Amino acid sequence: MSNTNNELIVVTSAIVQLKAAAKYRNFNHDTFQSVMSFANTAGLYIALIKKKERRIISDMNVSACNQLVKKLQSAIYDDEFALEELRSVCRTNSILSDVALYGQDDPSAAFMSLVIFQNSLSSTLTPASYLIDLITPYLHKAYITSLEPTWAQNHPLESLTAREKEVYNWMSSGKTNREIGLILGISQFTVKNHVARILEKLNAPNRSAALALCN
């Protein structure tokens, strides 16, 4: 029972730290290393990947072998890459080296997170590969939230809310504010406010400029 309690404490502590990091947008190397304490501190690496482009937006290498990181990055660019393929790459470097992915199988997710870690026992008797599955949703959110200002600069649409993206998509289709309101079941005045916020976030003087910016 004590081992189970210890594992619960480790996972709960990691989730609390990651929720705080997401709230305050301050996920960093120290946070990453701390929440991964159950996997030891060796061989840690995390990358945030733009799924459509298979492009690494940001990464943190705490202690992973640079050669391994480069091999994994090359594998990611393969359109048919799979988790087992990545695991195979890891294990050619070290028998304990492992990888976790979050967001790959979610068609609505624009990004996924990749984590390299050591699948060894440290503070618990449970393999790290099991415990990391419990925290990856929070790890992904903390990392993704901390980078939102950068996305807004490099990928304008990422700064929009889900509703604003809907409005933007209908704007792209040539719909008027009245037509968008009818489609979405909201008032024309509400649509007008959404459009105003979209233009402000995209730093665009008008609708045409906003659409041109993101094409």
Give the residue ranges of DSSP H helices in 25-65. 29-35
**Confidence check: pLDDT of 45 > 90:** yes
Q: How far apart are CA 59 and CA 11, in angstroms?
A: 23
CATH code for the domain of 197: 1.10.10.10
Contact 210, 198 (CB under 8 A): yes
Tell me, yes or no, whether 177 and 142 share the same domain: no
Q: Note whether 39 and 138 are same-domain residues.
A: yes
Q: Evaluate if residue 72 carries a pLDDT over 80.
A: yes
DSSP state of 38: G
Q: Are residues 90 and 107 in the same domain?
A: yes
Q: What's the whole-number mean pLDDT along residues 119-124?
A: 65
Q: What are phi and psi of 206, to 5 degrees?
A: -155, 180
pLDDT in tens, 144-199: 888 865 554 556 676 788 888 889 889 888 889 999 999 899 999 999 999 998 88
187 and 94 in a single domain? The answer is: no
Please state the pTM of the whole predicted model.
0.66
Q: Are residues 171 and 72 in the same domain?
A: no
Where residue 40 sits, what CATH number does that domain have? Answer: 3.30.450
Instruction: Count how many domains the chain has.
Output: 2
- Looking at residue 115, what is its pLDDT? 94
Q: How confident is the model at residue 1 (pLDDT cuts 50, 70, 90)?
A: very low
* DSSP E strand boundaries for the chain: 45-50, 55-61, 97-102, 111-118
pLDDT at position 143: 92
Identify the domain containing residue 191 by its residue range: 155-213
Q: Is 95 helix (H, G, I), strand (E, B) or coil?
A: coil
DSSP β-bridge partners for residue 47: 59, 114
For residues 67 and 125, state if they share a domain.
Answer: yes
Q: Do residue 127 and residue 81 come from a single domain?
A: yes
Specify whether 110 is located in the same domain as 12: yes
Q: Which residues fall within 8 angstroms of residue 212, CB to CB, at 6 or more apart? A: none
Question: Tens of pLDDT along 77-117?
Answer: 776 667 788 888 888 878 888 999 998 887 767 788 999 99
Are both 139 and 72 inside the same structural domain?
A: yes
